[in-house]
């Protein structure tokens, strides 16, 4: 969320920068809401002062008479009315601000889709470019006997997944490998977090109110909870409402959780396989730091994602997303795209986002600098990695013409096998 004073001070510049994201900022309405809140707060302060003065005068004069008591009751009622007006004005302004996305950094490219992303670098020669006929990972999994799409559909409908045998073992092994890499080599602390969170927690990271249609919600009695779309939500909010010093920062959190997404608006895209499921598992990274340190932390986190892919021997590239294709809370995003020879294309496997102080202000995560001044802390997040999409890349890049799949050496200590053969046998 933004500081309204900063948006108003930026004025037309804020309007211009948000237009790059296809957001039309109504600056006049925002200023009007801000003035109403300020006026309401000033009225509360004035009436409270009058009430305090009247109480002092009454105390000095002895016991108040009926007329004085009636005047005091009237003044107290006016204070309560003013407080209610101030709450309404504050809620109106907060509601407006919560729908405004983060301001993109100036060097973020123009554009509204992945087509305008700017390639930063790539690693490895895309497997399969010199040979044709690499199957789609869904076909590879079914032929190996490690996926069962029919049973998944019978259990839950479209866009769910059942892995079995060596496939289930591969998914478990991959999660363990990634968590060990991040905790033992990249300095992250692993957390076990709730998969159900409240509305305030979802709001703190920017999923609400804008993306409510993408979320799965449950209600028991008067208790409302949301299934997390990513571990970014509980991990970032671990320090919601806290004040952190330079000695505390940076914080580095990781967790492996299921993620639940309705994928509203994406129907017809990636309906086969593991790329766009309603439920999937993911290892997430979150960093919290001083605002000035965010650019360095952004590059560090991107490097951590890339190291996962390098150790798995997967070909990939890094792109800088255009302003109109970034997530709501991001001011800059690297997409890391893995090569999928079955589709003949690079596809996103991780988004690493620098959110600046946007989430820190929403969630009340504060930073106190060496000079004692307080302000919102900066937050960053990235996938490292989603289990399903990584399995898809391993199957397609590791596929051999005899129908087998060869896995990277780094996974052998976790799987106990290097090759998956037709029929789900391993070697």
Over residues 31-87, the pLDDT tens digits come to: 999 999 999 999 999 998 888 887 776 655 556 666 767 777 888 889 899 999 999
285 φ, ψ (degrees, to nearest 5): -120, 135
Q: What's the sign of the alpha-carbon dihedral 271, 274, 275, 276?
A: positive
Assess whether the region 4-97 and the region 114-424 belong to the same CATH fold.
no
Domain coordinates in residue numbering, the chain: 4-97, 114-424
State the pLDDT confidence band at 336, using cuts at 50, 70 and 90: very high
Q: How crowded is the C-beta side of 13, counted as CA atoms within 13 Å?
A: 8
Could you give the C-alpha distances from 117 to 54, 166, 314, 323, in angstroms and in order? Answer: 65, 36, 21, 9
Name which of 308, 333, 169, 301 is nearest 235 in CA terms: 301
Query: Cα(311)–Cα(297) distance, rounded to whole angstroms?
Result: 21
Query: Cα(82)–Cα(79) distance, rounded to whole angstroms?
Result: 5
Q: Which residues contact 247 (CB under 8 A, 6 or more apart)?
A: none
Evaluate whether 30 touches 334 at the Cβ level (below 8 Å). no
Mean per-residue pLDDT, 243-252:
97
Mean pLDDT of the chain: 93
Mean per-residue pLDDT, 12-25:
97
Q: Which residues are catalytic?
A: 261, 276, 348, 351, 389
Tokens representing residue 78 in the block: 């006016």
CATH number of the structural domain 4-97: 1.10.287.40
What stretches of 160-293 show up as alpha helix (H) in DSSP?
166-184, 199-205, 232-236
Query: Cα(388)–Cα(297) distance, rounded to whole angstroms?
Result: 26
Model pTM score? 0.92
Query: Cα(338)–Cα(140) distance, rounded to whole angstroms?
Result: 18
Mean per-residue pLDDT, 159-166:
96
Tokens representing residue 187 in the block: 């300095």
State the pLDDT confidence band at 267, using cuts at 50, 70 and 90: low
Q: Domain 114-424, what fold?
A: BirA Bifunctional Protein; domain 2 (3.30.930)
């Amino acid at each position: 969320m933004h500081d309204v004073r900063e948006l108003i001070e930026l004025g037309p510049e804020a309007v211009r920068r948000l237009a790059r994201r296809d957001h039309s900022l109504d600056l006049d309405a925002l200023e009007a809401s801000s003035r109403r809140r300020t006026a309401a707060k000033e009225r509360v302060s004035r009436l409270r002062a009058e009430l305090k003065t009247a109480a002092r005068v009454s105390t000095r004069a002895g016991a108040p008479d009926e007329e004085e008591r009636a005047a005091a009751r009237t003044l107290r009622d006016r204070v309560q009315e003013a407080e209610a007006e101030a709450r309404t004005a504050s809620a109106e302004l907060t509601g407006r601000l919560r729908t405004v996305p983060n301001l993109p950094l100036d060097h973020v490219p123009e554009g509204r889709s992945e087509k305008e992303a700017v390639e930063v670098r790539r690693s490895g020669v895309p497997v399969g470019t010199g040979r044709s006929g690499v199957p789609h990972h869904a076909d590879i999994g079914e032929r190996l006997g490690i996926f069962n799409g029919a049973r998944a559909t019978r259990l839950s409908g479209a866009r769910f997944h059942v892995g079995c045998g060596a496939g289930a073992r591969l998914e478990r092994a991959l999660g363990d490998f990634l968590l060990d890499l991040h905790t033992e080599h990249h300095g992250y602390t692993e957390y076990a977090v709730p998969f159900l969170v409240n509305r305030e927690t979802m709001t703190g990271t920017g999923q609400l109110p804008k993306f409510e249609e993408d979320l799965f919600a449950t209600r028991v009695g008067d208790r409302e909870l949301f299934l997390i779309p990513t571990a970014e939500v509980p991990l970032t909010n671990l320090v919601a409402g806290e004040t952190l010093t330079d000695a505390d920062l940076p914080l580095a959190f990781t967790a492996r959780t299921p993620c639940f997404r309705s994928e509203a608006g994406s129907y017809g895209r990636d309906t086969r396989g593991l790329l766009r499921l309603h439920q999937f598992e993911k290892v997430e990274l979150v960093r919290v730091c001083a605002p000035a340190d965010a650019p360095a932390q952004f590059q560090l986190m991107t490097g951590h994602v890339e190291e996962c892919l390098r150790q798995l021997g997967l070909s990939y590239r890094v792109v800088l997303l255009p302003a109109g294709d970034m997530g709501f809370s991001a001011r800059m995003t690297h997409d890391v795209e893995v090569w999928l020879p079955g589709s003949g294309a690079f596809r996103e496997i991780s988004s690493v986002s620098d959110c600046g102080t946007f989430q820190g202000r929403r969630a009340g995560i504060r930073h106190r600098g060496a000079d004692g001044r307080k302000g919102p802390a900066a937050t960053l997040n990235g996938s490292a990695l989603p289990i399903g999409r990584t399995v898809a890349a391993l199957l397609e890049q590791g596929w051999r013409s005899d129908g087998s799949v060869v896995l990277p050496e780094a996974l052998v200590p976790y799987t106990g096998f290097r090759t998956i053969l037709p029929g789900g046998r391993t070697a």
